[in-house]
Amino acid sequence: MTDHLLTAVYLLLSVVAAAVLAAVATSVRLLPEVIDISIVLTGAGLGALAFTTLGALRRFDPDRIARLSLGGTVVGGVAGAGVFFIALVIDVL
């Protein structure tokens, strides 16, 4: 079971990395403007999704999964804001 859980974690990390790259590429105009992805909102959603998925895989109670979802939203939003701030500092946006 540990190998499957580790595979799921790697899959979630690759999805988060792809979403962040798509958000940066949209901001730099490498992708058409039809794709509108906000870095902070995407990070918050992906953080909540990742924490909820890991909680479900570990078979936590629904109350604890709800708290994990809220925590993932905060962590993902802060990470997205950090990525946005770094992009501003290096003058990408």
**What is the structure's pLDDT at 7?**
77
| Contact indicator for 8, 56 with CB cutoff of 8 Å | no
Look at the chain and report how many structural domains it folds into.
1
CA torsion sign, 92 to 74 to 2 to 8?
negative
pLDDT at 28: 60
Domain that holds residue 14: 2-89
What would the two tokens of residue 7 be?
């595979």
Residues lower than pLDDT 70 in the chain: 1-3, 25-37, 92-93
What's the pTM value of the predicted model, to 2 decimals?
0.57
